[in-house]
Structure 1
Amino acid sequence: MVTALLVDGSAELHPAGGLVPADPRLHVVGDLAGGGPFITSSIAGIAAQAVRAAHTIVAASD
């Protein structure tokens, strides 16, 4: 999946690690997310990221 996203330009690797979406419709949640300090995500942290992504997706569809 990561390779496919990189090859088609939907995402790129962050210099500090992780994956950063190049397409605003794509959201990376959890340990694969780049752009911040690498800290292993807890279930509560991943759930919070997923909620933010869901809100963004719903707001974009309005």
Structure 2
Amino acid sequence: MAQEQRDADYLATKAYSGGRVDLAWLGAARDQLTKDYGTFERYLTEGCGLSSDDLARLRTRLG
């Protein structure tokens, strides 16, 4: 999914839930994650301890 679509989904979710929307915060978090882990997948496996099977199940559920 493209970053623009992820941002749009984030904004829609935050707006629907009544939360404050702050794309600058999301961008800073994304930048730090990339700096620390290189990719989001490495963050999930190394940082969160998920296995490749866990990721496959998540992809199927979120599909």
Decide which structure has the larger Cα Rg and report it.
2
Q: Which has the higher contact order (CA 8 A, sep 6+)?
A: 1
Shorter-normalised TM range: 0.3 to 0.5
| TM value normalised by structure 2 | 0.34
